[in-house]
Amino acid sequence: MSMIRTENLCKDFGNLKILKDCSLTIEQGEVVCLIGPSGAGKSTYLRSLNYLEKITEGKLWIEEKLLDDRISGVNQVKISQQERTEILLELGMVFQRFNLFPHLTVLQNVMLAPVEVRKMKKNDAEILARELIKKVGLEDKVDVFPSKLSGGQQQRVAIARALAMKPKMMLFDEPTSALDPELVGEVLQVMKTLAAEGMTMIVVTHEMGFAKEVADRVIFMYEGRIVEDAPPEEIFSNPKNERTKVFLQSVLNTN
């Protein structure tokens, strides 16, 4: 079953066309990495999937449910706000910045959304939160406040927080770009574990090693378009598009 599908998705900011006819299907259990230069539209595409950005044109399906069919910014699909919200809760999101609540402990940060949004009982939410905090390797930090954590630890808490909503898919928007280099590995390891467990994931990343090792498919975006879509071994060893070749040469320092 396709988990996410877009057809001719476009996003304009005034006269600036950020996304141009982006069509993509993500199957259940797939790990898809979006790569490309800054300004290519990768993050905007990701944010369009969970309504952080509203598309201008095109169609969007989540779990084969048509959410958007926009013409000149107007949605042709009649769907209630509640139904849309329930569908979008299946998408967990992890940002560049961790956005943890500074006045809440690690445990409280992870418990908050299940209790407030999913209406989970506090005892059940605490059990789930402790499991997830252990999963990301921070069981000794449950009562610590974010200011006492490293950037890598904060990002792992942010991943646990997203997982606490029990999403079917995870969206990662350059989750390691704000981290010091020595902290990147600990976050990528958590993501590798999720991928190995079969979580459907879309990852905007500059970490080519992660894309090469973990992704089922790598999407190269350039100037708002999906230029190339192929397995990592094909993208990295034999890219078909000249733009892809130039980009990979620049980031991999190859000749």
**Tens-place pLDDT, residues 81-96:** 899 999 999 999 999 8
Alpha helices in 50-150 (DSSP H): 81-88, 106-116, 122-135
* Length of the chain in terms of residues written: 255
Q: 10 Å Cβ neighbour count for 247?
A: 21
Which pLDDT belongs to residue 237?
94
H/E element, 54: none
Q: Two tokens at 187?
A: 């976050």
Q: How far apart are CA 246 and CA 255, in angstroms?
A: 10
Give the up-direction half-sphere exposure of residue 54: CA atoms within 13 A in the CB hemisphere: 8
Query: Are 50 and 88 within 8 A, CB to CB?
Result: yes
Q: Is the pLDDT of residue 254 over 50?
A: no
> Mean pLDDT score of the chain, rounded to an integer?
94
Q: Is the pLDDT of residue 230 over 50?
A: yes
CA distances 120 to 114, 123, 129, Å, are: 6, 8, 11
Main-chain phi, psi angles of 245, to 5 degrees? -60, -45
Q: Two tokens at 88?
A: 């979008």
Q: What percentage of the chain reaches a pLDDT higher than 70?
A: 99
What number is the average pLDDT over the span 6-12?
A: 96
Scan for tokens 């898919």, then name that residue: 169
Residue 39, SS3? coil
Q: How far apart are CA 200 and CA 72, in angstroms?
A: 31
Query: What single-letter amino acid sits at 56?
Result: T
Which pLDDT belongs to residue 103?
97
Which pLDDT belongs to residue 173?
96
pLDDT digits (tens, 9 = 90+) for 121-174: 999 999 999 999 999 999 999 999 999 999 999 999 999 999 999 999 999 999
H/E element, 42: helix 42-49
pLDDT digits (tens, 9 = 90+) for 30-77: 999 999 999 999 999 999 999 999 999 999 999 999 999 999 888 899
The model's confidence at residue 178, banded by pLDDT at 50, 70 and 90, is confident
Query: Are 22 and 45 within 8 A, CB to CB?
Result: yes
CA distances 94 to 9, 136, 222, 243, Å, are: 22, 14, 23, 28
Structure pTM? Answer: 0.93
Q: How far apart are CA 222 and CA 30, in angstroms?
A: 22
Q: 10 Å Cβ neighbour count for 87?
A: 17
Q: What percentage of the chain reaches a pLDDT higher than 90?
A: 89
The model's confidence at residue 255, banded by pLDDT at 50, 70 and 90, is very low
pLDDT digits (tens, 9 = 90+) for 37-50: 999 999 999 999 99
Which pLDDT belongs to residue 72?
87
Residues 23-52, buried b or exposed e (16+ Cβ, 10 A)?
A: ebebeeebbbbbbbbeebbbbbbbbbbbbe
Which pLDDT belongs to residue 44?
96
Which pLDDT belongs to residue 1?
81
